[in-house]
Each structure stands twice: as C-alpha cells, then as structure tokens.
Chain A
Amino acid sequence: EAGVVQSPRYKIIEKKQPVAFWCNPISGHNTLYWYLQNLGQGPELLIRYENEEAVDDSQLPKDRFSAERLKGVDSTLKIQPAELGDSAVYLCASSDRGGRGYNEQFFGPGTRLTVL
C-alpha cells in the first residue's frame, strides 16, 4: 500500500514569493493533516480536514496561509507571500477515521522549504 505522497520534496524561494505544497493521503484515509516542523521541535498542527471540510484550522495563519481539499482526497497548502520565518518542513499526514487505529496518523516525507 502506498504511503502519503508529498511534492515537492524541497523548495527554495525568495521572500515575498508564493509557494504551494501538494499532498496525496493514503488511499481511503478521510482525515488529512498539515503540520509544520521546525528544527529541534515536534510537528505542530496547521489544519485538519475531514473529507473536504476543514474542521480545525485554528493554528493556520490565515493572513498568508491557505489550504484546500476540494474533492476530499489530495490537498494543497499555499503560502503567499512567504516570509523568512516560514522556513521549515511541511508535513502532511492522514488517518482512517473509521479504522481500528482511528487516530493513528501516518506522515508523508515532507516538503523542506527554505525562504531566502
């Protein structure tokens, strides 16, 4: 079974530029998460989707960050404009709400963003 897929794996941009990250969750997983991880820190939740609905976006900086999951499968996270402090790894995770380990989250490889 394929795991969570993310692209790109690495992205280098200049500040004030826009950037987008893409995630395809594990097949059948209806819950999708976007996390941010800084060096030496644990992942921090940005947004959680149940199917196509964003059910928890309280930690998403909405002035510059946006996300969508239009058909309830893959998702895109966008930053516009990017700031130096946005340099981090952006992780996508998914879980199967109806499954036995319903809240076990599985992570993709992440996108490492560097803002110059």
Chain B
Amino acid sequence: RKEVEQDPGPFNVPEGATVAFNCTYSNSASQSFFWYRQDCRKEPKLLMSVYSSGNEDGRFTAQLNRASQYISLLIRDSKLSDSATYLCAAEPRSYQLTFGKGTKLSVIP
C-alpha cells in the first residue's frame, strides 16, 4: 500500500459546484498534512496546511480524520481557475513530506 493515496480523477464539475477530494495515508505517525495545487507544467504551490482537525480558507476547507487516516479538501463555488491537479502530502517523519499522485480537477463552464 502506498503511503499516500489519491483518486487520480479527473473530476469534471460545472462552475459553481462543490467538489471534494479525499486522500488516505498509511503512516499513523503522520502529524502534519498539506494540500498543494499544481497547474500543468508548473511547480506545486502550497494551498493549505492541516495541523489539527482542519483548516478553512475562503472557498477551501480541509478536514483531517485521524481515526480513518484520511484528509479531505472541499472546494465550494468552483471557479474555472480552480482547474488544476491537487496534491496531498503527509509528514510521516519530521521535515519529510510524502506526496500522493494528485487528483485532477476540471471545472467546466
């Protein structure tokens, strides 16, 4: 089992829709989690950090479920500009991130 797993998608959603991605992790020692956004042929950009139960930033909400070992990312009121690949990362050891393969989102007009 891979350390961090994500549904690769693609998730095709209409503008204005709410979409959620899940990310599961295998190492229960992981303390911190991150969501990165990666546009095509660009570098990953940090979207949200999750250190406790969750985090919210505008239309984006991340939630952590330690019992089931998954984190989710919820995007409300999707915009065309939200189209990207969303990478989940866990920190199983201090200062070391393990990334999932990413989930591709396409927001359709």
Contacts and interface: CB of A to CB of B under 8 A. Distances in A.
Interface residues of A, number: 22
Given A45-B97, A48-B95, A56-B96, A107 B102 contact: no
Interface stretch (B13-21, B37-45, B60-68, B75-83): B37-45
A103 interface: yes
A48 B87 contact: no
A43 B95 contact: no
Contacts of A43: 44, 87, 97, 99
A73 B91 CA distance: 24
B45 A107 contact: yes
13 contacts: A31-B95, A40-B101, A42-B99, A42-B101, A42-B102, A43-B87, A56-B95, A91-B43, A103-B32, A105-B97, A107-B43, A107-B45, A109-B42
Interface of A: 31, 40-45, 48, 56, 91, 95, 97, 101, 103-110, 112
